[in-house]
Structure 1
Amino acid sequence: MIKIYFDWNVLSQIKNGKHSELKEIIFDNDKLFIPFSTSHIGDIFSSFIDTDEQKKYIKSDLDFISDITKDKCLMNTGKEVVLDFYPPEELFQQRIDEKDLFKDISLDGLMNIFEKDELTKPIGKALFGLLKSIPIEESFKQAFDNPESAKQIEQMFPGLRENPTMEGFFQSFSKMNLNLNESDGYKDLRKTVQNGTGINRDKIYNSENPYKIIDDNYKKLGVTPNEFVDNSKNAPEWFNEITNEYILLDMHGFQEDKVNIGKGRKETFKNTTEDAFHSAFASTCDFYVINDNKSFQKTKVIYEKLNINTLVLKPSEFVDYYQKYLQINDPILNFRIPFEIIKSEEYYEEVMEDAVLRTYYVPFFFFGFFNKIMVLLPNDNSNANILLSQNGPSNHKVYSMEIQRLYKELNSILGNDIDNLGEIKDEEFKQDEWIGRKWKLEEITFRLTRPNGHFQLYFDQ
């Protein structure tokens, strides 16, 4: 299946009557795999107001997501990004139930959470009593003694100077968290970072190479930007890497997001964070369709730097791409087009001991799955070995539902498989060696296999 991740902005516009061609393409198209993520829920939650009218509007948004994704949800477990089937309305209700849980992350606020459980109450009381008395690191105290840094530290950690203990640190961190995510504190923080690094916001905003500007300025300071990014284990390493790169670009001024707490939808650091998460989730899919220009530009720059092969497109660009390459109406073209491509000279060649391997990377998705052709030419001039393979997204997984649909596609053209194994069951993939499927058509045997975890279709002549 062709995996497509849509930014909420695009989905919202489709729901409200825009992008009619795109809507016609994606609705009830069984060769497309369209997930939503927890960040879509975060986007909608940012406009949450506890009124009947707003609740009704939000429910219509959640129902729309459910209809278009069939409840396929990407979730970050902390160790990996997993796919689950989850109604968006249930996830949204969880957000409502938990919205005040960590609003106060001072020691007293965290202690209140512990005190709600009789089992953790005694442990929490002893632990937090100890933490309150621990002094903060000496580097913080020295920063307050320096007039140049004292103002910036006080701005980031309000109240810490008056109470330089762990209790004071958590209290100030709680205030900073609220200031960033509920107010316009991110605007000041971003300005502080740009001034401190000597970066001209107007110069970097539309730069063709923002990373060079950032790296050059940090070299002058004798440090690297990586010293200030989040390396916590709250997500897979690749997920954190994309998220950090996104926030780094925005914080230093490249296509920086608007911060607005006035009328209408509140735009704070929380929105930038969700956009960063979208870019990470989207790297599990073949296409990321997005209409917000700032996020579009940041994501393209990040994917290029990190060699992520997810294609980032605007809605109209995706429509053009689909009509040109993905809309294969005649099933037999899934066989004909690869042989036409093999005649071309556009391939990557690898000379091996007994053969030459030619690899063709194509914009097509044959049978809604394969986008790579490999041809092995033996040195003894015997028949070439041809197979279709997948050049999948950098952080993707292949799900059983994709292979089950692929089987149905092949079965509709080639008929029943030779061994009459029939439709593919989920249980088959739990074994180390997958049995696969075979078909025979005239002089060619087609084998759907999974060597080394990669699904491939061999043409045996």
Structure 2
Amino acid sequence: MIKIYFDWNVMSQIKNGDHKELREIIFDNEKLFIPFSTSHIGDIFSSFKETDTQRDYIESDLNFISELTKDKCLMNTGKDVVLDFYPPKELFEQRIEEKDLFNDISLDGLMKIFEQDDLIKSIGKSLINLLKSIPLEESFKQAFENPESAEQMDKMFPGLKENPTMEGFFKSFSKMNLNLNESDGYQELRKTVQGGMGINRDKIFDSDDPYKIIDGKYKKIGTSPNQFIDNSKNAPEWFNEITNEYLLLDMHGYQEDKVNIKKGRKETFRNTTEDAFHAAFASTCSFYVINDNKSYKKTKLIYEKLGINTIVFKPSEFIEYYQKYLDIKDAILNFRIPFEIIKTAEFYEEVMESATLRTYYVPFFFFGFFNKIMVLIPNDGSDTIFLLSQNGPSNHRIYSMEIQHLHKQLCEILGDDIENLGQIKDEEFKEKEWVGRKWILGEITFRLTRPNGHFQLYFDQQN
């Protein structure tokens, strides 16, 4: 199956009647694997209001996501990004229940959370009283006294100057958190960063090489923006890397997002963060379809820098690509096209001790799965080995439903497997060595195997 991740703006536009041709392609198309993520829920939650009209509108959004994705949901567990089947409505209700939980992350606010559990209430009280009495590092106090940094520190940590303790820090951090995510504080913070680094926003906004500008400014002061990257274990390393790169570009002015709290859907730091998460989630798929020009440019630049092979498309670009390469209507062409490609296409060649390996990276997805052709030519003159393989997205994993769909397609052309193993079951993949499937057609044996964790389809000439 071909994995495609759609940004919420594209989903919303399709729901509201736009991109009719795209809608016809993606709905109920069994060749496509379309997940949503918890960030889609975050996008919808940004417009949440306690009114019947808004509730009805949000419910229709959630129903649309469920219909399109069949409840396939990507979630960040902290250690990994996993796929689960989860109704969007349930995730949204959870978000509503938790919406006020961390609004107040001052020490007093945290104490209220502890007080909800009798088992940890006394421990929490002792811990918080201890934290309240701890003074801040001297460097913090000096930053408030330094004329060059005092104004910026007051903006970033309101009230901390008057109470330079851990109690004051948590209270100030709570205000800053609300200001960033619920108000226009991110706009001021971004101006402070750009002003402090001497970055001309108009120059960097549509620069061909924003990284050169950013790195150059940090080099002048003898540091690197990577010093400030969040490497905490709240997500896989690759997820954090993409997210941080996205926020770094936006914070320093490249294709920076609007901040707007005056009407309609709030646009705050929370929205930029969700866009960064979308870019990370999308890297588990072969295609990322997005219609917001700023996110489109930032994501393409990040993927290029990090070597991520997910293709970023606007809706019209994806439609053109789908019609040209992905919509193979005659199933038998999945066998014919690869042999046509190896006659004329360019390849990467690796000369080994006993054979030469030629690899063809193709835009097609044969049987909705294989996008790599490999030809192994032995030096001893024995039969050439031909197989189809997969060049998957950088951060992907293969799910059993994909192989089950692949097997179904192969059976429609080749018939039942020669060992009568039948339909592929989830339990088969728990074994270290997967049994695979074999078919014989004419003088060729087809083998669907999983050597070293890679699913491949071999074409073996019978002797």
- Distance in 2 (alpha carbons) for counterparts of 1:69 and 1:302: 26
Partner of 1:313: 313
Partner of 2:423: 423
Partner of 1:304: 304
- Distance in 2 (alpha carbons) for counterparts of 1:62 and 1:213: 41
Partner of 1:274: 274
- Distance in 2 (alpha carbons) for counterparts of 1:158 and 1:236: 32
Superposed displacement of residue 445, structure 1: 0.6
- Distance in 2 (alpha carbons) for counterparts of 1:101 and 1:145: 34
Superposition RMSD on alpha carbons, in Å?
0.6
* 1:39-118 alignment runs, 5 A limit: 39-118=39-118
Superposed displacement of residue 174, structure 1: 0.2
Give the match's secondary structure for 1:271. Answer: helix
- Distance in 2 (alpha carbons) for counterparts of 1:296 and 1:232: 26
Check whether the contact 2:3–2:34 (CA below 8 A) recurs between aligned residues. yes
Superposed displacement of residue 345, structure 1: 4.2
- Distance in 2 (alpha carbons) for counterparts of 1:139 and 1:361: 54
* 1:211-360 alignment runs, 5 A limit: 211-360=211-360
Give the match's secondary structure for 1:377. Answer: strand
- Distance in 2 (alpha carbons) for counterparts of 1:343 and 1:137: 69
Is residue 2:396 matched to residue 1:396? yes
- Distance in 2 (alpha carbons) for counterparts of 1:275 and 1:429: 34
- Distance in 2 (alpha carbons) for counterparts of 1:236 and 1:377: 39
Q: Percent identity?
A: 80
Structure 1 runs of 4+ with >6 Å offset = none
Partner of 1:378: 378
- Distance in 2 (alpha carbons) for counterparts of 1:139 and 1:388: 60
Partner of 1:13: 13
* 1:134-153 alignment runs, 5 A limit: 134-153=134-153
Superposed displacement of residue 431, structure 1: 0.7
Check whether the contact 2:345–2:360 (CA below 8 A) recurs between aligned residues. no
Q: Deviations over 1:226-248 (max 9, x none)?
A: 11121111000000000000000
- The one-letter code of the counterpart of 1:136 is L
- Distance in 1 (alpha carbons) for counterparts of 2:12 and 2:137: 47
Check whether the contact 2:260–2:266 (CA below 8 A) recurs between aligned residues. yes
- Distance in 1 (alpha carbons) for counterparts of 2:240 and 2:171: 26
- Distance in 2 (alpha carbons) for counterparts of 1:450 and 1:137: 56
Q: Deviations over 1:239-298 (max 9, x none)?
A: 000000000000000000000011111100000000000000000000000000000000
Number of residue equivalences: 461
- Distance in 2 (alpha carbons) for counterparts of 1:64 and 1:92: 13
- The one-letter code of the counterpart of 1:11 is M
Give the match's secondary structure for 2:119. Answer: coil
Q: Deviations over 1:26-46 (max 9, x none)?
A: 000011000000000000000
Q: What TM-score, normalized to structure 1?
A: 0.99
- Distance in 2 (alpha carbons) for counterparts of 1:139 and 1:365: 57
- Distance in 1 (alpha carbons) for counterparts of 2:175 and 2:345: 61
Partner of 1:203: 203
- Distance in 2 (alpha carbons) for counterparts of 1:426 and 1:227: 44
Give the match's secondary structure for 1:353. Answer: coil
- Distance in 1 (alpha carbons) for counterparts of 2:165 and 2:413: 71
Partner of 1:171: 171
- Distance in 2 (alpha carbons) for counterparts of 1:327 and 1:189: 47
Give the match's secondary structure for 1:84. Answer: strand
Give the match's secondary structure for 1:119. Answer: helix
Superposed displacement of residue 142, structure 1: 1.5
- Distance in 1 (alpha carbons) for counterparts of 2:456 and 2:352: 20
Partner of 1:191: 191
Partner of 2:122: 122
Q: Deviations over 1:33-75 (max 9, x none)?
A: 0000000000000000100011000000000000000000000
- Distance in 1 (alpha carbons) for counterparts of 2:165 and 2:132: 7
- Distance in 2 (alpha carbons) for counterparts of 1:380 and 1:207: 54
Give the match's secondary structure for 1:120. Answer: helix
- The one-letter code of the counterpart of 2:191 is K
Superposed displacement of residue 110, structure 1: 0.6
Q: Deviations over 1:362-399 (max 9, x none)?
A: 00000000000000011122211011000000000000
Give the match's secondary structure for 2:128. Answer: helix
Q: Deviations over 1:117-158 (max 9, x none)?
A: 000101101100100101112211121121101111111011
Structure 1 residues 338-347 or 366-375, which shifts more?
338-347
Check whether the contact 2:256–2:294 (CA below 8 A) recurs between aligned residues. yes
- The one-letter code of the counterpart of 1:324 is K
- Distance in 1 (alpha carbons) for counterparts of 2:294 and 2:352: 45
- Distance in 2 (alpha carbons) for counterparts of 1:333 and 1:368: 12
Is residue 2:440 matched to residue 1:440? yes
- Distance in 2 (alpha carbons) for counterparts of 1:453 and 1:107: 48
In the alignment, structure 2 segments of 5+ residues that lack a partner are none
Give the match's secondary structure for 2:132. Answer: helix
Give the match's secondary structure for 2:394. Answer: coil
- Distance in 1 (alpha carbons) for counterparts of 2:124 and 2:278: 35
- Distance in 2 (alpha carbons) for counterparts of 1:440 and 1:210: 55
Q: What TM-score, normalized to structure 2?
A: 0.99
- Distance in 2 (alpha carbons) for counterparts of 1:154 and 1:436: 64
Superposed displacement of residue 200, structure 1: 0.7
Check whether the contact 2:439–2:447 (CA below 8 A) recurs between aligned residues. yes
Structure 1 residues 134-143 or 9-18, which shifts more?
134-143
- Distance in 2 (alpha carbons) for counterparts of 1:134 and 1:390: 56
